[in-house]
Amino acid sequence: MSIPVFYEPNPIASPFLSEEESIHAHRVLRLKTGDPIFILNGKGQKFEAKVDQSTSKKTSFHHLKEIESSEMPPYAIHLWIAPTKQMERMEWMVEKCAEFGIQSIGFFHSRYSERKEIKTQRLEKIVISALKQSKNLFLPSIYPIISFKDLLKQISPKEQEQRLFAYISEPPSLSLNKSLQLNQSYHILIGPEGDFSKEESEILLSNDWTPFGLGKAILRTETAGLAATHAIHLLHEN
């Protein structure tokens, strides 16, 4: 039987699982006193511990010991995406990007956006689940939806950062692997399925955002977000 994995952001200061994690530990896994567990804090550390007491309201643990730690990788992926009308597709993308490893996922609405509101609470639960499933050590941040205009104000040019946006054009833009500089912090902008408007594309270009392509096929929004995330990881493995 594999040892179950839980998420607790500060297990050293608070030797208790959250109520939601406690419900899973007690009612689903039926853990008992002395059972071993793993705990991820989402900040680069993995611990082992033993269950002290388990109830559906609060599960405590003891004998906490760090067994793995990791520094942040030399590059960071911050994905900004215009959410689709079908939220299930966004949830799937968030889950898969979190499994690959990503620093943050944020949302924006632009001229051709299908959705201008989004609830982040469910997405935060999804990234926690993906963290535990994938055994990654860093929990991605989820940011609420903002306007295209506010997004540009928020992400100003900085050293060791690249700002790139998926661009459908003729002739096609350079592919992501040819546009990327290694070991940077990347802000990746993926527009709605109606694409950016001509005016929005011109604003991005005039503000020194780098356009990139993801191949000949026209990808769905969530597929483009996942493809860009995976491509950046693969480029840093070579």
pTM of the model: 0.92
Q: Of 38, 69, 100, which marks where a domain is finished? A: 69
Quote the DSSP letter at residue 13: T
Structure confidence at residue 116 (pLDDT): 85
| CATH number assigned to the domain comprising residue 101 | 3.40.1280.10
Residues 78-114 have pLDDT tens digits of 999 999 999 999 999 999 999 999 999 999 999 988 8
Phi, psi of 209 (to 5 degrees): -80, 140
Q: Of 26, 54, 69, which marks where a domain is finished? A: 69
Same-domain check for residues 195 and 150: yes
Residues 23-46 have pLDDT tens digits of 999 999 999 999 999 999 999 999
Structure confidence at residue 172 (pLDDT): 65
pLDDT under 50: residue ranges of the chain: none
